[in-house]
Amino acid sequence: MERRRQATSERDRNGAVGRRGARAIVCRGGWTLVEVGVALTVLVIVSLIAISTLSQTRTPDLQCAAQVVASDLAYVRQLAIVNGTTYEVRFDAMAGTYEVAHTGPDAAFDSVAPPPCLPSSARTPTGYVYRFDDLPLLSGIRLESVVATAPTLQAISSFAFESTGAVSPLQPIRITLATGQGAATRSIDIEIVPQTGLVRVGRPQGTGTL
C-alpha cells in the first residue's frame, strides 16, 4: 500500500510539472487564438476606416476646388467693376489651365495681381495663369468643359467680365470640374449669370458623389 501511494504521488507531481510546462509554452509563445483574433479584427477595422476615409475625400476636394475657382472669378468681376475696364478669362482644358488677362484700353491696369487663394499663379504681362494641378492642398481635379448654355449649348474657350460686372458674350456660362475616371467620375458645375456676372457653385454630381 505504501509503495502504491508513493507511485500515485509521483504521478501527481509529474502531472503538475507537465501542466506548468504547458502553461509556460503558451506564455513563451505570447499569442493565443483569442489574441490573434482580436488583433486581426483591429487590423480589419483600421483598414476599413482608412479605405472609407480615402473614398470620401474626393468629393470635398471637388467642392473646395470649385469654391477656389468661383472665388477667383468673383475677384476678377470685382476688378472689372472697380477699375471700370474689361478682364478676359481664357480656358485651356488640354493644358489644365486658365488665364486672367486685362483686355481694356488702359495699360495702367495690365498688371493684375492674383488673389490670395491662388498663391502660386504664374504672372504674365497682362495678368496671370493658373494650373488646376496647383490648386492648394488638392490633387486630381481637372477642367472638364466650359460652355455657354443658351440659346444652345456651345463650347467656348473664353469670356470677359465687363465694367458693369456682366459677362461677354451675354450668355449663361457653365464651367465643369471633375475628378475620377469612368464610373467613379464626379463633377461639379460653376455657373455665371450673364447679366450680373455673379458666380455660384452647384452640387457634386456622379455615381461616386457622397
CATH number at residue 176: 3.55.40.10
Q: Domain for residue 192, yes or no? A: yes
Is residue 197 a part of any domain in this protein?
A: yes
Are 89 and 158 spatial neighbours (Cβ–Cβ below 8 Å)?
yes
Distance CA 104, CA 98 (A): 19
Is 146:174 a contact under the CB 8 Å cutoff?
yes
Query: What's residue 78's pLDDT?
Result: 93
Domain residue limits at 126: 58-201
List the one residue out of 160, 99, 107 whose CA is nearest residue 127: 99
Give pairs for 40-43: CB < 8 Å, separation 24+. Answer: none
> How many distinct structural domains can be found in the chain?
1
Q: CB of 186 within 8 A of CB of 178?
A: yes
Residue 71 lies in a domain: yes
Which residue did the predictor score with more confidence, 154 or 1?
A: 154
Q: Is the pLDDT of residue 58 over 70?
A: no
Quick: pLDDT tens for 183-210.
888 999 999 999 999 999 999 888 554 4
Asked if residue 145 has pLDDT above 70, the reply is yes
